[in-house]
Structure 1
Amino acid sequence: MTDDGRLLFTRTDWDFTTIQRIYEAVEETAARELGLDVYPNQIEVITAEQMLDAYSSAGMPLFYKHWSFGKQFAHHELVYRKGMRGLAYELVINSDPCISYIMEENTAMMQTLVIAHAAFGHNHFFKNNYLFKQWTDAEGIRDYLEFAKGYVTSCEERYGLAAVEQLLDAAHSLMNQGVHRYPRRQRLDLKAEEQREAERHAYQERLYNDLWRTVPKGQQQNVNQSEESRRALLELPEENILYFLEKTAPRLAPWQREILRIVRHIAQYFYPQSQTKVMNEGCATYCHYRIMTALHDEGRISDGVFLEFLQSHTNVVAQPMFDTPYYSGLNPYALGFAMMQDIARICDDPSDEDREWFPDIAGKGDADNVLKHVWANYRDESFVAQFLSPKLIREWRLFHIVDDADKSALEVAAIHDERGYRRVRRALSRQYDIAWQQADIQVVDVDLAGDRHLILQHEVVNGVLLAEADATQVLHNLAYLWGYNVILREVEPSTGKVLKEHVARAGSVRAA
């Protein structure tokens, strides 16, 4: 304790004893007030330069080297040094133990805030949300990253920096198409990956050799295989393009297959985070607000410190209006926090409207457990679709705009009234649908009897075709990895009509 009774600190500066005291107080409050279930915490104090470095490598504590990370570092450092952008006060890693990086430049108040936000709010969400349980191995990720870094370095030494860099460039361009979107029968154990690497190489050699040794030498199509049996042999269609290439690309060496596997495992690790931005930040913001308020009510932080906190918190949850220069869409912190508070209000003090819209939770009076159930069992799309209330729609003045390219004017399709609530909620939830965020591109066939070209299909959503320049560059990378020509057809799902076709020829391709 400090000299001033129960206060955790009385000055803005701090030392490691102060950090320990803050952590213990936040931990006790989080357990008592919210009953949070978290991984063990590892708090690390880092400099501004180290934070910039962490930005550049997706926040991971260990990562293989790649030129794009240096490019990101240079960009972030430039805008930071010019005062055009600040740095995050913290960075948290979904691992067991959960690693929270806190900036050494932070004040004592800010250290309290970010420990509550990251080490307990985010930590609880990582450990309990169903997407993270299905797709991530928090215990094994650090060991796997250490293995990946060592493996990529050994490949650079053995096969040359240029060859590895070219392979990583191609693989990185396909990371969004390098994930399984549906749960597998068994979750990947990352800790065992290094031990299985040698066995996997031998198996992969047998797998693709058995596949390709049966391919006719000439260009004749007198092959007995039916289309159905060929697709069954290749397990098509396949949405995870990196997985397909790793298993069946005829010209990749074993070390190249392993690097593709590394890239897709890392892409899979980040997959849940892209679907839970609003919920994850909303959970952490709600938790830090409750914890800081409780510390103030108990006399553990002073009025001045609490006012400093409220200023920072208000900045975090600010939502600029659409006609301001700062508007860049809905702030996930603001929307998530507002919805968490609204759910608590509905549980404790519902209106007749709330009872009509949310009969299962209205007046239940158990807000903390309801919120923990929500944090565990929803993602952004289903969360908004289920829990965005008419009251919040009115307060945020939300409305639905239809932007139809075939029409000369925008249409206001729904506003915040009795007829528009459901349409507004449905339209907003669709913005967080992974099918709308990322293109649905699948490997659908391979010409085994001919020139071995690879055929992909993009199911067009809402009439939006792929950007021509990006599609061309990524297809060139794909052709480089496959070793033969690649065809991508953009198809209208309802009619099967081909809207556009892209072709990348392997003979003139280099990964970009």
Structure 2
Amino acid sequence: MDQFGLECFPQVFEICDEEQMLGYMAYHGMPAHYPHWSFGKSFEKLKTLYGYGVSGLPYEMVINSNESIAYLMRNNSLCLQILTIAHVYGHNDFFRNNTTFQATHPELTLSNFKSRADRVRRYAEDPAIGADKVEAVLDAAHALSFNCRHNAGVRKLSPAEQRERAIESARPPRDPHQDIHPTQDAPEPNLRRIPLEPEPDILLFIRDHNPYLTTWERDLLTIVHEEAQYFIPQIETKIMNEGWASFWHHRIVSSLDLPADLQMEFMVHHSQVVRPHPGSINPYYLGFRTWHDILRRCEQPTPEERERYGGPTDDMATLFRIREVDRDASFLRQFLSGRLMREMDMYEFGPEDDQYVVQRVADEDNWQQVRDTLINGVGMSGFPVIHIDDADYDGARKLHLSHAYDGRELELGQAEKTLAYLHRLWGREVVLETTLQDKPTRLRYDQDGFSSRPAA
């Protein structure tokens, strides 16, 4: 891949059949994973859908690891194997170079997943614990695993730094006329409050602040949190990553001197991969079109683009730089232009009078609103932002949380189930402040179950 400028981990390919691919899909692509009933359920669902022809199987799967492992379907044709191998190298380059993945420690991926699987099996096989107790904790942890910091690029302050910031915030602003004004005592910050600042990492907070958890329960919360942190970068870069891999499989295979029949087959397969999906977003299509549009801007910018971005520029150097520093939200905000959106016939639709209707199209007046709606649903933006505010609410060790309401309400049924899991892990009443039907609402889960009432 050196001739194309790609920088990849060493790549290993494994050939698998349908049954093996279904297993890898159920286990998120990992050759080793801890046991849990949800993975078996996922396997049976995938197998049933595949058996009835309702859904197909991926041509390949790639693991973010060093060395990278990719699974190829045994029954792929020669042309399809060439395409998927080129696609894999695009993913490999992205995993190695995109900054979002730098904290995933790819050199330890396989050993870490195996170590976690061994620990969970050891707890499940321990007569003093058993599989039922292990699965009960894992059920709760899975429900809360993505209630965490969504952007690893924003450094979390240490407790000492949070304490210092609380003290600094309590100091009154500097008064240039202090010599003529009466002295005012600075308010004392509440340094005994836990947490000092809103805490987004719910599993880690419970692990560290619930004194009644056993050692094995704390370890299970750590395991689930660490695995969520491994997968978050893939959620955050789905469009960029699939678009980048599609861009490179198209560029690599097009450079090969293939026979005419293989060239025709490649065009068919490539078109199937990057075709638009009416009524939904195909990340392969959106990413592929956006990367090609960036390349066009570099090579042949319009006068407006030349004024805004400069150019012409070193096209591939620009693409490699963007691949390194962006994630889906920033990528689309910068490079999904109104012109490109109109070329792709993008629009926004939503519910109205018990049916779905087109609410906006990407014309000159509305394309930015349509783009922003799209951005609000990509990556981790689709998960609600919830923080722990107080671990001793009402002085009774109740857990108080707040939902950062952005116009999207929590689904009440899901909120009830999630609070039940949170109550299971915390062992005390939990209270969540949110907004429902434009009114402040307090959701509560205690020993009597779930309740919802207007906030006082």
- Cα distance 1:425–1:502, how it changes in 2: closer, same or farther (>3 A)? closer
The amino acid of 2:433's aligned partner reads: R
The Cα shift of 1:283 comes to 0.2
- For the pair 1:363 / 2:312, whether they are aligned, the reply is yes
Q: Match for 1:488 among 426, 432, 441?
A: 432
Residue aligned with 1:488, SS: strand
Where does residue 13 of structure 1 map in the other structure? none
- Cα distance 1:184–1:359, how it changes in 2: closer, same or farther (>3 A)? closer
Where does residue 181 of structure 1 map in the other structure? 151
Aligned 8 A contact 1:179 1:271 in 2 = no
CA separation in 2, counterparts of 1:156 and 1:376? 41
Q: TM-score, normalised by structure 1?
A: 0.76
The amino acid of 1:434's aligned partner reads: M
Aligned 8 A contact 1:416 1:424 in 2 = no
Where structure 2 has 5 or more consecutive residues not aligned to the other structure, the ranges are: 157-187, 451-456
Where does residue 338 of structure 2 map in the other structure? 390
CA separation in 1, counterparts of 2:152 and 2:59? 34
Where does residue 126 of structure 1 map in the other structure? 95
- For the pair 1:268 / 2:229, whether they are aligned, the reply is yes
- Cα distance 1:353–1:404, how it changes in 2: closer, same or farther (>3 A)? farther
Where does residue 346 of structure 1 map in the other structure? 297
Residues 369-408 of structure 1 mapped to structure 2, 5 A cutoff: 369-400=317-348
The amino acid of 1:142's aligned partner reads: L
CA RMSD of aligned residues (A): 2.5
- Cα distance 1:411–1:501, how it changes in 2: closer, same or farther (>3 A)? same
The amino acid of 1:376's aligned partner reads: E
Residue aligned with 1:281, SS: helix
Q: Match for 2:380 among 427, 430, 434?
A: 434
- For the pair 1:72 / 2:57, whether they are aligned, the reply is no
CA separation in 1, counterparts of 2:379 and 2:31? 30
Aligned 8 A contact 1:178 1:267 in 2 = no
Where does residue 454 of structure 1 map in the other structure? 399
* Aligned residue pair count: 416
Residue aligned with 1:230, SS: coil
Residue aligned with 2:309, SS: coil
- For the pair 1:31 / 2:9, whether they are aligned, the reply is no
Residue aligned with 1:177, SS: coil
The Cα shift of 1:431 comes to 3.2
Q: Deviations over 1:421-453 (max 9, x none)?
A: 444434433332634x11011110022774311
Residue aligned with 1:228, SS: coil
The amino acid of 1:124's aligned partner reads: D
Q: Deviations over 1:83-121 (max 9, x none)?
A: 221100100000011111111111111111111101x10
- For the pair 1:108 / 2:59, whether they are aligned, the reply is no
CA separation in 1, counterparts of 2:111 and 2:337? 43
CA separation in 2, counterparts of 1:147 and 1:506? 36
Residue aligned with 1:43, SS: strand
* Identity across matched positions, percent: 35
Q: Match for 2:252 among 284, 288, 291?
A: 291
CA separation in 2, counterparts of 1:292 and 1:172? 40
* Range moving further from structure 2, 281-290 or 98-107: 98-107
Q: Deviations over 1:54-107 (max 9, x none)?
A: 111111221000000000100110111112211001000000111111111111
- Cα distance 1:52–1:429, how it changes in 2: closer, same or farther (>3 A)? same
- For the pair 1:416 / 2:363, whether they are aligned, the reply is yes
Where does residue 332 of structure 1 map in the other structure? 283
- Cα distance 1:314–1:449, how it changes in 2: closer, same or farther (>3 A)? closer
The Cα shift of 1:488 comes to 1.1
Where does residue 443 of structure 1 map in the other structure? 388
Aligned 8 A contact 2:34 2:120 in 1 = yes
The amino acid of 2:323's aligned partner reads: W
Where does residue 22 of structure 1 map in the other structure? none
Where does residue 12 of structure 2 map in the other structure? 42
Q: TM-score, normalised by structure 2?
A: 0.85
The Cα shift of 1:403 comes to 6.5
Q: Deviations over 1:120-176 (max 9, x none)?
A: 10011111111111x311111211111101100110111111110111111111111
Aligned 8 A contact 2:14 2:69 in 1 = yes
CA separation in 2, counterparts of 1:354 and 1:227? 51
Where structure 1 has 5 or more consecutive residues not aligned to the other structure, the ranges are: 1-29, 187-225, 322-326
CA separation in 2, counterparts of 1:130 and 1:106? 33
CA separation in 1, counterparts of 2:444 and 2:94? 43
The amino acid of 1:166's aligned partner reads: A
CA separation in 2, counterparts of 1:162 and 1:351? 63
Where does residue 159 of structure 2 map in the other structure? none
Where does residue 454 of structure 2 map in the other structure? none
Q: Deviations over 1:218-243 (max 9, x none)?
A: xxxxxxxx882232x53442101001
Aligned 8 A contact 1:180 1:240 in 2 = no
- Cα distance 1:227–1:161, how it changes in 2: closer, same or farther (>3 A)? farther
Q: Deviations over 1:443-470 (max 9, x none)?
A: 10022774311111112111x2211111
Q: Match for 1:86 among 56, 63, 66?
A: 56
- Cα distance 1:421–1:236, how it changes in 2: closer, same or farther (>3 A)? closer
Where does residue 118 of structure 2 map in the other structure? 150
Where does residue 466 of structure 1 map in the other structure? 410
* Range moving further from structure 2, 498-507 or 106-115: 498-507
Residue aligned with 2:219, SS: helix
Residue aligned with 1:176, SS: coil
Q: Match for 1:500 among 425, 441, 446?
A: 441
CA separation in 2, counterparts of 1:421 and 1:415? 4
Residue aligned with 1:148, SS: helix
CA separation in 1, counterparts of 2:377 and 2:412? 23
- For the pair 1:234 / 2:185, whether they are aligned, the reply is no
Aligned 8 A contact 2:124 2:134 in 1 = yes
Aligned 8 A contact 2:274 2:288 in 1 = yes
- Cα distance 1:234–1:352, how it changes in 2: closer, same or farther (>3 A)? closer
Aligned 8 A contact 1:446 1:453 in 2 = yes
CA separation in 2, counterparts of 1:401 and 1:148? 43
